[in-house]
A and B are shown apart, each in its own frame.
Chain A
Amino acid sequence: MTALETGAAIKSGKITAVSAAEQVLDAAEKGNEKINAYITVCREKALKRAAEVQKKIESGELTSPLAGVPFSVKDNICTKGIRTTCASKMLENFEPVYDATVIKKLEAAGGVVIGKLNMDEFAMGSTSETSYFGPVRNPRNLSRVPGGSSGGAAAAVAGKMAVAALGSDTGGSVRLPASYCGVTGFKPTYGIVSRFGLIAYASSFDQIGPVARDAADCAAIMDIISGKDIMDSTSLDTESPGYLASLTGEVKGMKIGIPRECFISSGLNSEVAEKVMAAAEVLKNAGAETEEISLPFLRYAVPAYYIIASAEASSNLSRYEGVKYGYRSENFSSLSELYSSSRSGGFGKEVKKRILLGTFVLSGGYYDRYYLKAQGVRAKIKKNFDEIFSRYDLILCPSAPDTAPESGRSLDDPLKMYLSDIFTVSANLAGLPAISFPCGNDSSGMPVGVQIIGKAMDDVKVLNAAHAYQKLTDFHKNFAEVK
């Protein structure tokens, strides 16, 4: 069942919020042995909460279409009283004293948090293999990675261990795993969803987004979690368009640009190209106009992204130094040793690599050469997108150059791993809404994801195009049964 179907079943009394939670909790606990999608499953809390929600649904107090629906949450979103680890030894036992704004909103609408999802450590990675709690496996094929960094979210939804999930997307962290696992993942326009309570990786890119079975679920979740938050100055003060209600499934007359650079880039799997072009055909047959366009900056997107994201990360992660909370090394005899020893021991390799990279690009003498230059590229990319969106409604391209790689191979070849973000990072650089959804499988049976990117604030248009596609196809109904 999708989240909306689950919500409807609870509303009609066919099932209860408690039985829905129980079912997901059982699947999560059972599936976790193989998939490792969850870091924490909170059975007792979830069941207690589900019972309360059920009462409020019966009394008519809760009327959201997703009231009573079980939700799973990436472990970098703060949940009061439930440990929030960022998949790091550094925060292994960290219990936030407050709820993230999205959690408050979700709970106010009657959502039931059933557990916290595994991920790449501090959301840094594209495979969900850098977690201190062990790698996440792809339920489609246990030898493949689920993608990252929201790998636990995509794997749990794909493996029916979650109805719907909240992930976060900094350079593709919702869309890439959605693509690798064959589910739908949406990154909203930067500022549409409050970041308050999302443990920062790269502040100017981070955006919370839903991972679900289809675009309609994503829209229903957006109705709940979006909106201005006074606790986040970067959140936008805009009126909600009514995401779910705006899904018409119509794409007639919509102008869709297909960037040629995506298809001539080396490393693009031909099967991926084929499935993505077929998806474009589906939309064309539904009345959309497709046209080839050019994104000349594409090859600069990944380096610019990694420079800025690492710079912000080096600063954002400085607060983890063993003084106030989190991991503290026992081996120190001075303040600076307390810092270096705690940080050396508390962070994993990939995180340390990015902190070093970010520290370097902000250092005296390098700031202009790297950080400022990358910001210049970012501004150019934004301008390029503005120009394209003055002529096109949407951009359609692959979510990733390839389907999910084998486990254990990516981290040794970081450049290749970083390049798997090539199609997703541009949307983060420009703050644009983008969605990834399944459009078929490759010959080894691994799902292929197609991505649709829209203009800033055109979140509805992006969701609607995916919804139109999903009305005409069944790829999103294909689930992996974790045995």
Chain B
Amino acid sequence: MKWETVIGLEAHVELSTKTKIFCSCSTEFGGAPNTHCCPVCTGMPGTLPVLNKKVLEYAVRAGLALNCSINEYNRFDRKNYFYPDLPKAYQISQLYLPFAQNGFVDIKTKSGARRRIRIHEIHMEEDAGKLIHFAKDNSTCMDYNRCGIPLLEIVTEPDFRTAEEVTAFLGKIKSVFEYLGISDCKMEEGSMRADVNLSVRSEGASEFGTRTEMKNISSFRAIERAIAYEAKRQTEVIENGGTIIQETRRWDDVKCQSMSMRSKGNAQDYRYFPEPDIPPVVISKEEIQHYNDICPEFAGERAERFIREMKLSEEDAEIISASKNLADIFEETVKICEAPAEVRFWFMSGVLYYMNETNTDACDIKLKPEKFAEFINIVQSGKITRISGKQVFEKLLSCDDFDIMTFIKENQLEQVEDTGLVEETVRSVISANPKAVSQYKNGETKILGFFVGQVMKKLKGKADPAIVNKAVAEGLDRTNSNRENAK
């Protein structure tokens, strides 16, 4: 029998407001434990929450961008449970009246498939603190810095069928929120987290199977692994004649397996009730309209524009425009240096390579367009080759506060313009490799590349590859004719 996986998501996204949702503490990531908190966010007796208006604005803009209908009358509810990271022993959230409902997101997976994922609702809530365990003395301490960071919880319908669709959806959310400037959605910093609801059923079935919920998934790759694991586990249970228990499972990405946390039978009763400390918040139609009006251009439109105006391929345009930061750098740089193809080259080979190697998030790439354009001009003018350009560009990605030309001169990276030197190097390489020369003679013309490589190496990549190519070909041909002459 063929099995189909059905997945629904609950994605938590931290909003990047300057201050917390119910007090004026900083939301900055990091900081020594318990330095970004106050009596309000640590739930000291007698304190009261006051809603940060910016959170509501960000929330509404997110809801509109994800095609939701926005509720004008908003209320918060208390979700009651005991855990040391929750100092009030309740989380202020929205159960009865979430601010946004019935939206959708259109996604495109890597394999090019397009799907529409429906959004059931989005609600606002506060984040909890963090437990820090010390193995040394088996103690646990609390860090309340994260307490009260504003969160949006995006609840989708069970519309996903593959892990690829899930990561495409999260990537799209990340892109949209970055364009709105309301969140950086960094999974590794915990500003985006997802709980995965998953069930399997025989392909073509109309009813859903029993689902499990997996918590604690903290990276795109972990999500893929967790989904693969859980789908396989459920399928095996069913194929072996067992039944799936509705339960919450914790994903352990190190052991690469999920473990049961609690089943539905002892599911928590959160005893939700309307938060009496915060009066209902009304968003006017005018405000909603205003936020609709200031909706920015998103990745999709921007990619189309890049294809049209800068002649990028669809794939390149989509990769660059997915991140507002990258797209801004790209567009600004092209505007200054007017060389889209060269900028594209450095983006695809340099920037993306750097992000992968250093595990840097797209929104943390700090590349000044003026500097980038200056660099492009230098490459295009032939002052340096692309090969030695790599060194300069890497430096540019990690720090932009230096003079490019001085750096090039100090590191002797200028292109070798002395054709005599090139020719001399070619001659020495040819005479040092007689075996290769005879291979070339015997028609192995591919060996030409070897000679070019050797010459470039000797010249430390500073010569124009085209000139070297030409010189090598001429040099080899000359040897040829010399020999013939000798005959």
Residues of A within 8 A of B (CB): 76-78, 84, 86, 91, 94, 96-98, 100, 195-200, 202-204, 230-234, 311-312, 314-315, 318-321, 323-325, 335-336, 339, 359, 362-364, 367, 371
Max chain A C-beta neighbours (<10 A), residue from B44, B80, B279: B44
Docked complex Cα distance between A362 and B269 (Å): 9
B449 at the interface (CB under 8 A from A): no
Q: Hey, which chain A residues are within 8 Å of B89, CB to CB?
A: 315, 318-319, 321
Max chain B C-beta neighbours (<10 A), residue from A86, A202, A233, A314: A233
When the two chains form their complex, are residues B46 and A199 in contact, meaning their CB atoms are under 8 A apart? yes
A-contact 0/1 string along B35-73, CB 8 Å cutoff: 000010011111111110000000000000000000000
Q: How far is the CB of A257 from chain B (nearest CB, A)?
A: 29
Docked complex Cα distance between A78 and B39 (Å): 12
A-contact 0/1 string along B289-317, CB 8 Å cutoff: 00000000000000000000000000000
A312 in complex: contacting residue of B45, B50, B276, CB < 8 Å:
B276
CB pairs A–B below 8 angstroms (27 shown): A77-B46, A84-B45, A91-B45, A94-B45, A96-B39, A96-B46, A97-B39, A195-B48, A199-B46, A203-B277, A204-B276, A231-B50, A232-B48, A234-B48, A234-B276, A234-B279, A314-B271, A315-B80, A318-B82, A319-B43, A321-B89, A324-B142, A335-B84, A362-B271, A364-B269, A367-B271, A367-B273
Q: Hey, which chain A residues are within 8 Å of B46, CB to CB?
A: 76-78, 84, 96, 100, 196-200
Docked complex Cα distance between A195 and B271 (Å): 24
When the two chains form their complex, are residues A324 and B90 in contact, meaning their CB atoms are under 8 A apart? no
A319-B271 CB under 8 A given contacts A199-B46, A233-B50, A233-B279: no
A-contact 0/1 string along B354-371, CB 8 Å cutoff: 000000000000000000
When the two chains form their complex, are residues A233 and B276 in contact, meaning their CB atoms are under 8 A apart? no
When the two chains form their complex, are residues A363 and B271 in contact, meaning their CB atoms are under 8 A apart? yes
When the two chains form their complex, are residues A98 and B82 in contact, meaning their CB atoms are under 8 A apart? no
When the two chains form their complex, are residues A230 and B82 in contact, meaning their CB atoms are under 8 A apart? no
Kindly report which residue of chain B lies nearest to residue A196, judged by CB atoms: B48
When the two chains form their complex, are residues A233 and B51 in contact, meaning their CB atoms are under 8 A apart? yes
When the two chains form their complex, are residues A311 and B50 in contact, meaning their CB atoms are under 8 A apart? no
Docked complex Cα distance between A324 and B273 (Å): 25
When the two chains form their complex, are residues A196 and B47 in contact, meaning their CB atoms are under 8 A apart? yes
Q: How far is the CB of B452 from chain A (nearest CB, A)?
A: 68
Q: Hey, which chain B residues are within 8 Å of A197, CB to CB?
A: 46-47
Docked complex Cα distance between A314 and B88 (Å): 12
The 4 residue pairs across chains A and B that have the minimum distance between CB atoms: A318-B89, A362-B271, A203-B276, A204-B276
When the two chains form their complex, are residues A362 and B80 in contact, meaning their CB atoms are under 8 A apart? yes
Q: Hey, which chain A residues are within 8 Å of B84, CB to CB?
A: 323, 335
When the two chains form their complex, are residues B48 and A231 in contact, meaning their CB atoms are under 8 A apart? yes
A324-B45 CB under 8 A given contacts A203-B276, A204-B276, A315-B273: no
Q: Hey, which chain A residues are within 8 Å of B50, CB to CB?
A: 230-233
Kindly report which residue of chain A lies nearest to residue B275, judged by CB atoms: A203
Q: Hey, which chain A residues are within 8 Å of B43, CB to CB?
A: 319, 324
Kindly report which residue of chain B lies nearest to residue A197, judged by CB atoms: B46
Q: How far is the CB of B257 from chain A (nearest CB, A)?
A: 24
Kindly report which residue of chain B lies nearest to residue A191, judged by CB atoms: B279
Taking A323-B84, A364-B271 as known contacts, 8 extra A-B pairs with beta carbons closer than 8 A to each other, sorted by chain A number, are A97-B39, A98-B39, A197-B46, A234-B279, A314-B271, A315-B273, A321-B89, A324-B42
B181 at the interface (CB under 8 A from A): no
Q: Hey, which chain B residues are within 8 Å of A367, CB to CB?
A: 271-273
Complex interface residues of chain B between 435 and 451 (CB less than 8 A to chain A): none
Q: Hey, which chain B residues are within 8 Å of A363, CB to CB?
A: 269, 271
Give the number of residues in B that approach A within 8 Å (Cβ atoms).
28
When the two chains form their complex, are residues B273 and A311 in contact, meaning their CB atoms are under 8 A apart? yes
Docked complex Cα distance between A330 and B16 (Å): 41
When the two chains form their complex, are residues A362 and B273 in contact, meaning their CB atoms are under 8 A apart? yes
A96-B45 CB under 8 A given contacts A318-B82, A319-B88: yes
When the two chains form their complex, are residues B49 and A319 in contact, meaning their CB atoms are under 8 A apart? no
Docked complex Cα distance between A311 and B78 (Å): 11
When the two chains form their complex, are residues A199 and B82 in contact, meaning their CB atoms are under 8 A apart? no
Docked complex Cα distance between A84 and B50 (Å): 23
Kindly report which residue of chain A lies nearest to residue B274, judged by CB atoms: A375
B352 at the interface (CB under 8 A from A): no
When the two chains form their complex, are residues A359 and B271 in contact, meaning their CB atoms are under 8 A apart? yes
Max chain B C-beta neighbours (<10 A), residue from A91, A100, A198, A323: A323
Q: How far is the CB of A287 from chain B (nearest CB, A)?
A: 39
Kindly report which residue of chain A lies nearest to residue B40, judged by CB atoms: A231
Docked complex Cα distance between A472 and B89 (Å): 52
Q: Hey, which chain B residues are within 8 Å of A312, CB to CB?
A: 273, 276
When the two chains form their complex, are residues A315 and B78 in contact, meaning their CB atoms are under 8 A apart? yes
Q: How far is the CB of A161 from chain B (nearest CB, A)?
A: 25
Docked complex Cα distance between A200 and B277 (Å): 10
When the two chains form their complex, are residues A96 and B44 in contact, meaning their CB atoms are under 8 A apart? yes
Docked complex Cα distance between A234 and B280 (Å): 10
Q: Hey, which chain B residues are within 8 Å of A371, CB to CB?
A: 273
B278 at the interface (CB under 8 A from A): yes
Q: Hey, which chain A residues are within 8 Å of B278, CB to CB?
A: 233-234
Docked complex Cα distance between A196 and B49 (Å): 9
Q: How far is the CB of A407 from chain B (nearest CB, A)?
A: 29
Q: Hey, which chain B residues are within 8 Å of A320, CB to CB?
A: 45
Q: Hey, which chain A residues are within 8 Å of B279, CB to CB?
A: 233-234
B87 at the interface (CB under 8 A from A): yes
Max chain A C-beta neighbours (<10 A), residue from B45, B87, B142, B277: B45
Q: How far is the CB of B19 from chain A (nearest CB, A)?
A: 13
Docked complex Cα distance between A363 and B142 (Å): 29
Q: Hey, which chain B residues are within 8 Å of A362, CB to CB?
A: 80, 271-273
Docked complex Cα distance between A149 and B398 (Å): 65
Docked complex Cα distance between A367 and B80 (Å): 14
Q: Hey, which chain B residues are within 8 Å of A318, CB to CB?
A: 80, 82, 88-90
Docked complex Cα distance between A318 and B91 (Å): 11
Kindly report which residue of chain B lies nearest to residue A91, judged by CB atoms: B45
A-contact 0/1 string along B306-343, CB 8 Å cutoff: 00000000000000000000000000000000000000
A-contact 0/1 string along B75-96, CB 8 Å cutoff: 0001010101001111000000
Docked complex Cα distance between A97 and B46 (Å): 11
Q: Hey, which chain A residues are within 8 Å of B90, CB to CB?
A: 315, 318
Max chain A C-beta neighbours (<10 A), residue from B78, B87, B271: B271
A234 in complex: contacting residue of B39, B80, B87, B277, CB < 8 Å:
B277
Docked complex Cα distance between A367 and B89 (Å): 19
Docked complex Cα distance between A97 and B279 (Å): 26
Kindly report which residue of chain B lies nearest to residue A78, judged by CB atoms: B46
When the two chains form their complex, are residues A319 and B87 in contact, meaning their CB atoms are under 8 A apart? yes
Q: How far is the CB of B145 from chain A (nearest CB, A)?
A: 15
Kindly report which residue of chain B lies nearest to residue A375, judged by CB atoms: B274
Q: How far is the CB of A309 from chain B (nearest CB, A)?
A: 11
When the two chains form their complex, are residues B271 and A199 in contact, meaning their CB atoms are under 8 A apart? no
Q: How far is the CB of B477 from chain A (nearest CB, A)?
A: 82
Q: Hey, which chain B residues are within 8 Å of A323, CB to CB?
A: 84, 142
Docked complex Cα distance between A197 and B44 (Å): 9
When the two chains form their complex, are residues B49 and A233 in contact, meaning their CB atoms are under 8 A apart? yes
Q: Hey, which chain A residues are within 8 Å of B88, CB to CB?
A: 318-319
Q: How far is the CB of A269 from chain B (nearest CB, A)?
A: 34
Q: How far is the CB of B83 from chain A (nearest CB, A)?
A: 8
Q: Hey, which chain A residues are within 8 Å of B273, CB to CB?
A: 311-312, 315, 362, 367, 371
Q: Hey, which chain B residues are within 8 Å of A311, CB to CB?
A: 273
Kindly report which residue of chain A lies nearest to residue B268, judged by CB atoms: A364
Docked complex Cα distance between A359 and B84 (Å): 19
Docked complex Cα distance between A66 and B82 (Å): 44
Q: Hey, which chain A residues are within 8 Å of B87, CB to CB?
A: 319, 324
A199-B51 CB under 8 A given contacts A319-B88, A362-B273, A363-B269: no
Q: How far is the CB of B186 from chain A (nearest CB, A)?
A: 29
Q: Hey, which chain B residues are within 8 Å of A200, CB to CB?
A: 45-46, 277
Q: Hey, which chain A residues are within 8 Å of B272, CB to CB?
A: 362, 367
Kindly report which residue of chain B lies nearest to residue A99, judged by CB atoms: B46
Complex interface residues of chain B between 106 and 154 (CB less than 8 A to chain A): 142
Q: Hey, which chain B residues are within 8 Å of A234, CB to CB?
A: 48, 276-279
Q: How far is the CB of B441 from chain A (nearest CB, A)?
A: 81
When the two chains form their complex, are residues B48 and A233 in contact, meaning their CB atoms are under 8 A apart? yes
